A = this chain, B = another copy of it.
Amino acid sequence: MSAKGQLSINLATTRGSWGFAEAVDGCLRHDITAIAPWRDQVEAIGLDEAARIVKANGLKVTGLCRGGMFPAVDAAGWQANIDDNLKAIDEAVALGADCLVLVVGGLPGSSRDIVETRKQVADGIAAILPYARKQGMPLAIEPLHPMYAADRACVNTLGQALDICVELGDGVGVAIDVYHVWWDPDLAAQIARAGQMGTILAHHICDWLVPTTDLLLDRGMMGDGVIDLPGIRAMIEAAGFHGPQEVEIFSKENWWKRPGDEVLATCVDRFDTVC
């Protein structure tokens, strides 16, 4: 195990081969004892069984993906989104997750009003925050790359996410994914600010490929792209976060087509050599 802290595998990374149980077995074969599952993967095996597997193997769960997706076109849609987030908090608690990752959502319906949508997002997090605090489950706002502003998340910079943290107070932090933030001219300052606020809850890694052929499903393995992974890691460590680096790779045409064991062996190798 590297001195730089633990490797965690977001189970999206092995989605091409494995469900929850197979992915855990795979991780254990590669001496990986931290994971971050997606809710559909947990649902497929059942929350109780997933929680049992986590406990039986002493796994660290670096996050549950994902809550969020707050914006809605009407009150019924809004309430359904809130209810689903409350359920996600319960699931994260059952799994003993470090945080519930929030991908906050994009423009609802035919809206072109990103300012109003961003207000809805802050209202949505505020609406679930009392329950999250009561359950002791930190909420991790994940700023997403601006190319997802329309359809996935209208929180697009770390600074913007931290502004929401300031507005809402205890119980809300950030998940910093290098894929989403590496380009930001203000990155160093905002990571330092996040550290001062004590809000860094997760550190996700992968790489930005050149060229990138798909907006969603063409993330690269660490080392295959242009992100300065050690540089960003140094910023995050200097900001006081020494938790696991969680590998999250959506790669429809490459890594999702390879055997899960090859994917994990590559993650371990790259984590040791380039991260």
Residue of B nearest to A212 (CB): B215
When all copies of this chain in the complex are counted, the total is 2
Q: A234 to chain B: closest CB distance in Å?
A: 13
Interface string of A89-129 (1 = CB under 8 A from B): 00000000000000000010001111000100000000000
Of A16-24, A33-41, A144-152, A190-198, the one touching chain B: A144-152
A182: chain B residues within 8 A (beta carbon): 114, 149
Smallest beta-carbon distance A239→chain B, Å: 17
Verify if A169 is at the interface (C-beta below 8 Å from B): no
Of the listed residues A118, A150, A159, A213, the one surrounded by the most CB atoms of chain B closer than 10 A to its CB is A150
With the chains together, A118 CA to B183 CA distance in Å?
11
Query: What is the 8 Å Cβ interface bit string for chain A, positions 28-68, against chain B (1 contact, 0 not)?
Result: 00000000000000000000000000000000000000000
Contacts of A228 in B (CB 8 A): 112-114
Q: Which residues of B contact A113 (CB under 8 A)?
A: 228
- 8 A Cβ contacts from A226-271 to B: 226-228, 231
Partner of A226, one of B150, B211, B225, B231: B150
| B-contacting residues, A133-187, CB 8 Å | 145-147, 149-151, 154, 156-157, 159-160, 182-185
Is A151's CB under 8 angstroms from B211's CB? yes
Asked whether, in the complex, the Cβ of A185 is within 8 Å of the Cβ of B211, the reply is: no
Interface size range on A against B: 20 to 34
Residue A210 at the chain B interface, CB threshold 8 Å: yes
Asked if A208 CB lies within 8 Å of chain B CBs, one says yes
Contact of A210 among B150, B210, B213 (CB under 8 A): B150
Which of B114, B145, B160, B226 is within 8 Å of A147, CB to CB? B145
Say whether B208 contacts A150, CB under 8 Å: yes
C-alpha gap A213/B118 in the complex (Å): 25
Question: Can you give 23 A-B contacts (C-beta < 8 A)?
Answer: A107-B210, A107-B226, A111-B226, A112-B226, A112-B227, A112-B231, A113-B228, A114-B182, A114-B183, A146-B147, A146-B184, A147-B147, A147-B215, A149-B183, A150-B208, A150-B210, A154-B183, A156-B183, A156-B184, A159-B185, A211-B215, A212-B215, A213-B215
12 further A-B contacts with Cβ under 8 Å, apart from A145-B147, A147-B212, A159-B185, are: A107-B210, A107-B226, A112-B228, A114-B183, A145-B146, A146-B183, A149-B183, A150-B210, A150-B225, A156-B183, A211-B215, A212-B215
Interface residue ranges, A against B (CB under 8 Å): 107, 111-114, 118, 145-147, 149-151, 154, 156-157, 159-160, 182-185, 208, 210-213, 215, 225-228, 231
